[in-house]
Amino acid sequence: MIAVPLRREILDNDLTLAYIGARIGIEHGWSHLYSLSLQHQLFTQLRPEAPFNDGERFISPPPSAWVLVPLTVIGAAGTVYVWLAASVAALVAAWWIAAPGSGRARILWLIAALAWYPVQYSLSLAQPGAIVLLAAMACWKLAGMGKPYLAGAVLGASVLKPQLTLAVPLVLLAAGRWRIFAGWAVTVGVLAAVSALVIGQQGLTDYRALLSDAERVANNRYFTPAYILGPGALSYAVQAVVAVIGVAGGYLNRRSSLARIFALGLVTTTLAATYWHLQDYAILAGAAWLFWRDEAPAWRRWWLLVVAIGGELAWPLSPLPILIGLAVWLGYLALPQNPVPRPVRA
């Protein structure tokens, strides 16, 4: 699944678009980062046989291009290979940090993650999902070690693809973990300010235009509640309600474990996002690991199979099964966990 498309054409992936952004910044100045004509020009140079359609746009935040600047010296193909190696390493590191259990049972979590279609699809597209997953799991670990500000700063690395964890800081804030939120807010605020200064007014204007175009691409909302409700105001309203449920759940779970709160934040993000693709579900590997660490009735744990199968067969089955699975998962995550009664010793 991962090797076949990359073997066919190593530049047929989303990282190539970020590489184009880095090249534009270096060669033409960062104010032209979102110039559609320059993106088209460089895309044609790198992939002359491929069509430059509405899916071939660099619309990620500027840091997504900045991180690739040092790699431009090895060319586009070399950049993809290095990024793939880093992504696999990040996935393994995230598993090492957050996966529950021990021994063979723990290794099964890594095998399951690597075998799950959204994860494989994310890697085949050279997406930043594994890097963002590592940032989220490292944030959870650092917070548990009593380093909330550093944890929040690490979560700030999610700006590489912010929609993957967008609700997590809000849920943490509602749960009273304001120090983590503060670390994240300062980091993201600094990156946003620097980005705005670097790309300037022209860059911001071009960026807004590209984002506006992206909103009209049906594929960008296919894996959101818009699949059921349509792309209009109703789906946006329902997604706002989902966000409110997640934030309210954070407050109700303020005495729960950090693992549960983080899982709630990731699941809320997944259902509330207005821009989502199949590969983005890879972030749920972290939610599953953390959720499994929290005591829960067996049926709730087995319900994860519905989510897993829904993601695995999302193309033939449509997004409906995984959306239903996530809605139920969000529902029982948002409610505070009842303590499991312990047997009384005589």
Dig out the tokens for 189 from the structure: 């605020």
Strands (E), 155-224: none
Dig out the tokens for 177 from the structure: 């973990």
DSSP-based three-state secondary structure for 133: helix
Q: Which pLDDT tens digits describe the chain residue by residue (346 residues)? A: 565 556 678 999 999 999 999 999 999 999 999 999 999 999 999 999 999 988 899 999 999 999 999 999 999 999 999 999 999 999 999 999 999 998 898 999 999 999 999 999 999 999 999 999 999 999 999 999 999 999 999 999 999 999 999 999 999 999 999 999 999 999 999 999 999 999 999 999 999 999 999 888 888 999 999 999 998 899 999 999 999 999 999 999 999 999 999 999 999 999 999 999 999 999 999 999 999 998 788 889 999 999 999 999 999 999 999 999 999 999 999 998 765 444 433 3
* Residue 345 included in any domain: no
Each as own residue / partner, the long-range contacts of residues 154-157 (CB below 8 Å, 24 or more positions apart, any chain) are: 155/180, 155/183, 155/184, 155/187, 156/183, 156/184, 156/186, 156/187, 156/188, 156/191, 157/131, 157/132
CA distances, 167 to each of 47, 77, 310 (Å) = 36, 34, 22
* Residue 339 included in any domain: no
Q: Identify the sign of the CA torsion 273, 175, 150, 100.
A: negative
Structural domain boundaries enclosing 247 = 3-334
* Residue 206 included in any domain: yes
* Residue 340 included in any domain: no
With left for phi above 0 and alpha for psi between -120 and 50, is residue 238 left, alpha or beta? alpha
CA distances, 153 to each of 35, 73, 101, 141 (Å) = 30, 29, 28, 13
Dig out the tokens for 188 from the structure: 């993201």
Query: Considering its fold, how many domains does the chain have in total?
Result: 1
* Residue 307 included in any domain: yes
- 173 contacts: CB under 8 Å, gap ≥ 6: 181, 250
- 117 contacts: CB under 8 Å, gap ≥ 6: 1, 278, 311, 312, 313, 314
**Distance from C-alpha of 273 to C-alpha of 237, rounded to nearest angstrom:** 12
* Residue 314 included in any domain: yes
* Residue 211 included in any domain: yes
- 98 contacts: CB under 8 Å, gap ≥ 6: 137, 140, 141, 286, 289, 290, 293
